[in-house]
Amino acid sequence: MSVPEEFLYLSPPHMGGREQAYVQQAFDQNWITTAGANVTGFEQELATYLGVPAMAALASGTAALHLGLLALGAGPGDEVFCSSFTFVASTNPIRYVGATPVLIDSEPITWNLCPKALEAALQDRQKKGQLPKALMLVHLYGMPSRMQEIQELTQHYGVPILEDAAEALGSRYHNRFVGTFGKVGVFSFNGNKIITTSGGGALVSDDVALVEQARWLAMQAKDDLPYYHHTTMGYNYRLSNISAGIGRGQLEVLEERVQQRRTVFENYLQLLQDVEELEWHQEPDGFYSNRWLSCFTLKKNSGVNPEKLRLHLLAANIESRPLWQPMHRQPLYSSCDYFGDQVSDDLFARGLCLPSGSSLSFSDQERVAFILRKAFRG
């Protein structure tokens, strides 16, 4: 028996090298808490990168979505429209605030929110006299959503957008960063995202007061008095100064990480161009994805299903994952109203994500391609 080959993870952390120096600064200054030079530095540096006036550094992307919904005033009795094709961390915060999710399906090219399904949902709610408090718009796998069509609709109906750009830091739509289109934008620095703080999130907005309010809510909403006085219920959602140090180091290599992930995708396309059973996630003109994960769907009648492929890769020490199971298929959310044509059901049934980390070497990718091809050609 030969030595088993190294396990290839889907999306492992990839340090740039300067993270520990920032963490060391926090130790040197003894700011081992949720405040300090790294927290403020990280907030300023990411805001500058994105071209927004302010960012609030938070404990997770989920916490950022929760505070984003509160900032938009969503609460009991409200509906919030949400992309159905997403991770459960998008929809859960809608329930945290006591609002009701209404799920909107995808369109088949970007895999993100379908403008036609959105229009049908908006028309329906207009007729019923209850427009949603917000649209939670998710940019999956780093692919920007169809912003022009979507914004035309939300502006017409007066519905603010909360962008869940957890997977899409560094992605652009016509040269503008996703996460900066909505009233509020959210990013995640979970360990598997394009850059990580080991765990963390960001909330951004053009409205500085909104960001300040989110920061205040994230620190237990203490009123501005010398003693502990509270009129509002807050949360403990601030990012630690240690984690923010990791984030500052990661920000220095963010553009490089975007390039590397895009190269990983291009390499797969090249290496597997002869396997015509695979349909790769497309990037329309004017769209620029960070290619967080390299994904494809299997053509209908390819004779191979994603689960068979996943197990085949796993047997060769290669991790892969099915695409997200849409929220309207989750026991937790299947009772929610839903608009669309089951495009995301089809994506879930046929899709797979391959190892996509920015540290993945070309020879690792050759190994993935070799094993993958064997599943089709024997």
DSSP state of 329: G
To ligand PLP, the closest distance from the beta carbon of 61 in angstroms equals 3
Q: Residue for token digits 């049908």?
A: 120
Closest C-alpha to 120, from 325, 341, 348: 341
Nearer to ligand PLP, 190 or 267 (CB): 190
b/e string for 304-318 if b means 16 or more Cβ within 10 A? Answer: bebeebbebbeebeb
Of the candidates 70, 74, 122, 138, which one interacts with ligand PLP according to CB under 6 A? Answer: 138
Contact 135, 118 (CB under 8 A): yes
Rank residues 190 and 213 by Cβ distance to ligand PLP and give the closer one.
190
- Binding segment for ligand PLP among 81-89, 102-110, 113-121, 269-277 (CB under 6 A)? 81-89
Using rule CB under 6 A, residue 69 touches ligand PLP? no
36 is a site residue for ligand PLP (CB under 6 A): no
Residue 136 is a binding residue for ligand PLP (CB under 6 A): no
Element holding 306 (H helix, E strand): helix 306-314
* Residue 123, φ and ψ in degrees, nearest 5: -60, -45
CB of 168 to ligand PLP, least distance (A): 9
Nearest residue to ligand PLP by CB is 61
- Of 56 and 371, CB closest to ligand PLP: 56
- For the chain, what is the radius of gyration of the CA atoms? 21
Instruction: For residue 61, state whether it binds ligand PLP (rule: CB under 6 A).
Output: yes
Sole binder of ligand PLP in the list 34, 60, 320, 325 (CB under 6 A): 60
Distance CA 115, CA 164 (A): 17
DSSP code for 144: P
Chain CA centroid to CA 323, Å: 13
CB nearer to ligand PLP: give 321 or 373. Answer: 321
Of 324, 320, 322, which is closest to residue 369 (Cα–Cα)? Answer: 320
Non-local CB neighbours of 6 within 8 Å, separated by 6+ positions: 317
Q: Is 289 in the site for ligand PLP (CB under 6 A)?
A: no
Q: Is 154 in the site for ligand PLP (CB under 6 A)?
A: no
Number of residues interacting with ligand PLP: please give it, by CB under 6 A: 14
Residue pair 78/284 in contact (Cβ under 8 Å)? The answer is no
* Per-position DSSP letters for 60-75, written without gaps between them: -HHHHHHHHHHHTT--
Contact between 347 and ligand PLP per CB under 6 A = no
Site for ligand PLP in 157-186 (CB under 6 A): 164, 166-167
Report 186-205 residues binding ligand PLP (CB under 6 A).
188, 190, 201
Name the residue with tokens 């007066």.
Answer: 158
Nearest-approach distance from CB 255 to ligand PLP, in angstroms: 21
End-to-end CA distance of the chain: 21
Residue 153 or 186: the one with the smaller Cβ distance to ligand PLP is 186
The contact set with ligand PLP (CB under 6 A) reads: 60-62, 86-87, 89-90, 138, 164, 166-167, 188, 190, 201
